[in-house]
Each structure stands twice: as C-alpha cells, then as structure tokens.
Amino acid sequence: MAKLNQIIAVEKGVKTKAHQELATAHHQVQKPALLAGIARTYQPKDEEGEQLPPESTRVQVQAEEVLRDAARALTRLFDVTATKDWANCTARADVSVDGRVLVEAVPVAYLLFLEKQLTDITALIRKLPVLDASETWTLDPSTDSWRTEPVRTVRTKKVPRNHVKAEATDKHPAQVEVYHEDIPVGYWTTVKFSGALPARRVNELLERVERLQQAVKYAREEANGAEVVDQRVGDAVFGYLFG
C-alpha cells in the first residue's frame, strides 16, 4: 500500500503529463483538415474519354478517439489527486516541542497553514526593535516600559563678561573685549523610556519559533507517512462524461 508522501511525490509528474495530453487534444480538434476525409472516382462520358485515377484523403483524427485519449490521461490525474485529498482528510499528527504536545492530531492542511504563518511570525520577530545596549535598562511597572536610571546634567546660560585688555589713559580709552561665560543656572534630570525589547528576549522568541517550525515540519512528515487507499474516481467521471 502506498504512503501519502509517495502520492504527493508523483502528483506533479502526473499533472504535467495530463496537461500535455489535454493540450494535444485541444490542438487536434481545432484543425478541421485532420478530421476531414474524401474519396472520389472519375468516369469519362464515353470509352474514348480521358481516364483519371481515383483520389482520396484519409481522416487523420477521430473526435471520439481524442476524447478517449484525453480521458485516459486525465483519469490518472483524477485518481492520484483524489487519493491525496482523501488521505489528507485522515492523515494527522501531533505537534510536539521538547516532549510536550502542543496540538493533538493536526490534519496535513492545517500543518501547511502553520508552516506559512510561522514564517511570517519569524519575519516579524526579526524586525522587533532592541534596547540600546549602551544604556542600563530596568522594567518600570508603572508605565509597562523600560527605563534608564536618572541622569543629572547642568543647564548653563551664557553671560556676557568684559575683559580689559588695556587700562584707560589720559590719551586713550580703555580697551575692553566682551566674551560670554557659561554660568550654571539649573539642572536637568533625564530618564529615558523605551518600548523596545532586550536582545535576550528577541533571541528567546526566535529560538521558540524556530523550535516550533521544526516541530511542525516533523509532524507534517509523520502525517504524510500515513498509508493511503487508492481512489478510483476518474473512471466514474469520464464514464459519465464520454460514455
């Protein structure tokens, strides 16, 4: 008795061959000349008239034969596909991670769905923002976000000052240069907040989703190892259609 994975392996080849046969059938029936034949003989009016040989053209394509050939090719495709789809209704496997069964008796179609979704989830996790490693972060329950320790910085204000380069004399005024001096006027206390995640959390999520992806693939392989019952659908379908 065949297994489901064996049926899946041959399905593509059967489908390709059936489509080729069907394309050939389309090509044949669209050429009227191939389906037409003729036979004619010549008889002169009297015995002295010119004698001409008979002419004939054979029918090269029989429409009924085209239908039979198409039915033979498609019957195999119908049977293989039916065998696969019937088996998919019963082929199931558990999804287990680290010895723990997460989902029991999952059908093949849903396992394929899970694989696709987990690929999308992996892409999302890889795009998650990560906390700046140059800062020290702690979780703040009041804001449900990460925060840094307060950092105090000085706020300064530029105040103009006069620098006397030369004292005044009875002949010349004093030479004064104006410059600005930064004078502390207050203090900023800064706390940074972030909704990003620690790198270790992102790595943990990636590891989990990768383990689950592997588990789903194992489950699919196990489900596809189920034995199948050959289905004979094609004969019934084409027996009705072309019978």
pTM of the complete model: 0.68
3-state secondary structure of 169: coil
Helix or strand (DSSP H, E) at 105: strand 100-107
Determine the pLDDT at residue 52.
Answer: 87
Determine the pLDDT at residue 1.
Answer: 66
**What is the percent of the chain where pLDDT is above 90?**
57
CA distances from 201 to 35, 126, 128, 193, 208 (A): 72, 12, 10, 17, 11
**Rounded (10°) CA dihedral 59, 61, 67, 70:** 160
Determine the pLDDT at residue 75.
Answer: 93
Spatial distance between the Cα atoms of 18 and 81, rounded to a whole number of angstroms: 12
Q: Where are the alpha helices (DSSP H) in the chain?
A: 4-29, 32-35, 63-90, 108-126, 199-224, 234-242
Is residue 44 very low, low, confident or very high in pLDDT (cuts 50, 70, 90)?
confident
pLDDT per residue as tens digits for the range 99-145: 999 999 999 999 999 999 999 999 999 999 999 999 999 999 999 99
Write out the two tokens for 241: 């259609």
